[in-house]
Amino acid sequence: MNSIFHKASDNRKLYVFLFCLSLSTFFWFLNALGKKFTTDVVYQVSYNHFPSNKVVLNELPKYFKIKIRGFGFDLMTYKLKIRKPSFTINLSKIDGIHQPIDSTQQNTLASSSFASYIASQLGDNIEIKEIYPDSIHFLLDVKKEKLVKIIPITKINFEKQYQLFGKIQVKPLTTTVRGPSSIIDTLEQVYTDRIFFQNLSKTVTKSVSFNKKYAQSQLEFNPSKVILYVPVEKYTETSIMVNIAYVNVPDSITMKAIPNEIELKFMVPLSKMESLTNAKFSAEIDYKQINENYNHKLKVEIKEYPSYIQSLTLNPGKVEYILRKQN
């Protein structure tokens, strides 16, 4: 029985101790809030009213660290605000930033110039001691525009027997690019984002943006996207025999190739199979290939063939020949 009373007494002592500790901590905290402290706050910054005829080349600060001093209660009240502190810098207020220029120009804005605005957000009882960075530097260039050619960047895999039928088409062929004159003056062409086409078995079209690296150079495009047209057809392998012609042979000499015809193997679109009947192929060897060392074989050159065939091979690629003097 005595142990029970002793335990209850110990518990009461513990509660009294904890109450006194909490009360003293509370009064200490109130006393601390009545003193002045120095702390840092971070402001997010944005910019507006950029000059329409210029481009800012350098990266501008996105945050400012501001050292402030005030009573603990005021600082705590400010830091407990749900909204993150932020402000916007109006570039039209910077002296000379909208004046015409012929080349790069540098302007500087002291951070102290917007200290009063920040102070109005902080309240009368909080003092700004320091703003970092202490200034903002603007490196400006003339904004120009130019019409340039568009180059698509693609990687294509096809289903078996399917291949590209012709060339990849870009619509439009050109785009108007606006940006710093230091870049625009030397810009001749621009590239799309790299696009991967997997296992193609039919013609596709796709809307594509320009390479993301251009955003780092402050370049703007009109139009901002292009259409890629990728023509695809099914191909089949076929072959034909073609007679060899002779060029640059002197009138006093007759020339004969051995063999005098070669086999051409190639891939042809199924839609063009009937066109092969009237298609023109020509193969030739050039007498001028014969040099002082007397070449034993001459290379066969294909001079004419339809543009729609692919993977053209010759068999044989070189031929022997016989020369005879005419009487």
Q: What is the pairing mode between strands 174-180 and 220-222?
A: antiparallel
What residues have CB less than 8 Å from 45, skipping those under 6 apart? 61, 62, 63, 64, 86, 87, 88, 89
More confident residue, 255 or 31: 255
- The CATH number assigned to the domain holding 318 equals 2.170.120.30
The reply to whether 25 falls in a domain is no
Give how many domains the chain has, as a whole number. 3
More confident residue, 252 or 101: 252
In a shared domain, residues 45 and 122? yes
- Of 126, 123, 112, 105, the C-alpha closest to 64 is 112
Backbone angles phi, psi at 201, to 5 degrees: -140, 10
d(CA 50, CA 47): 8
Tens-place pLDDT, residues 307-319: 999 999 999 999 9
pTM > 0.85: no
In a shared domain, residues 280 and 317? yes
d(CA 120, CA 138): 26
The reply to whether 2 falls in a domain is no
Enclosing domain of residue 319? 235-325
Confidence tier at 14 by pLDDT (50, 70, 90):
low
The reply to whether 14 falls in a domain is no
- The CATH number assigned to the domain holding 163 equals 2.170.120.40
- Give the torsion through C-alpha atoms of 223, 153, 229, 149, to 10 deg: 50
Beta bridge partners of 61: none
Convert 215-251 to b/e letters by CB count within 10 Å (16 or more is b): eeeebbbeeeebebebbbbbbeeeeeebebebeeeee
Averaged over 223-229, what is the pLDDT?
95
The reply to whether 12 falls in a domain is no
In a shared domain, residues 134 and 157? no
In a shared domain, residues 136 and 111? yes
Q: Judge residue 112's burial from the number of C-beta atoms within 10 Å of its C-beta, 0-12 exposed, 13-18 middle, 19 or more buried.
A: exposed
The answer on pLDDT for 115 being more than 70 is yes
The reply to whether 17 falls in a domain is no
The answer on pLDDT for 269 being more than 90 is yes
In a shared domain, residues 132 and 43? yes
Tens-place pLDDT, residues 168-194: 999 999 999 999 988 999 999 999 999
Q: What share of the chain is helix, strand, coil (3-state, %, to 5)?
A: 25, 50, 25
H or E segment and range at residue 215: helix 213-216
In a shared domain, residues 157 and 242? no
Confidence tier at 124 by pLDDT (50, 70, 90):
confident
Averaged over 228-247, what is the pLDDT?
94
In a shared domain, residues 106 and 172? no
In a shared domain, residues 189 and 221? yes
d(CA 37, CA 73): 10
The reply to whether 19 falls in a domain is no
- Tell me which long-range contacts 219-223 makes (C-beta under 8 A, separation of at least 24): 219/177, 219/178, 219/179, 219/183, 219/190, 220/177, 220/178, 220/179, 221/175, 221/176, 221/177, 221/178, 221/190, 222/175, 222/176, 222/178, 223/172, 223/175
Which pair of structure tokens corresponds to residue 151?
């180059």
Q: What is the DSSP letter of 280?
A: -
Domain boundary among the residues 107, 141, 175 is at 141
In a shared domain, residues 251 and 229? no
Beta bridge partners of 115: none
Averaged over 255-278, what is the pLDDT?
91
Averaged over 278-297, what is the pLDDT?
83
Tens-place pLDDT, residues 61-94: 999 888 888 776 666 666 666 457 788 888 877 7
**Amino acid symbol at 159:** E
The reply to whether 245 falls in a domain is yes
The reply to whether 20 falls in a domain is no
What value does the mean pLDDT of the chain take?
83
d(CA 284, CA 147): 44
Residue 47 CB neighbour total at 10 angstroms? 15
How many helices (H) and strands (E) are present in the chain, helices listed first? 5, 22
Domain boundary among the residues 233, 267, 302 is at 233
- The CATH number assigned to the domain holding 96 equals 2.170.120
Which residue reads 């513990």 in tokens? 14
| Contact predicate 188/171, CB 8 Å | no
Confidence tier at 236 by pLDDT (50, 70, 90):
very high
Domain boundary among the residues 213, 233, 253 is at 233
In a shared domain, residues 149 and 228? yes
In a shared domain, residues 207 and 177? yes
In a shared domain, residues 59 and 149? no
What residues have CB less than 8 Å from 292, skipping those under 6 apart? none
Which residue reads 């590239």 in tokens? 191
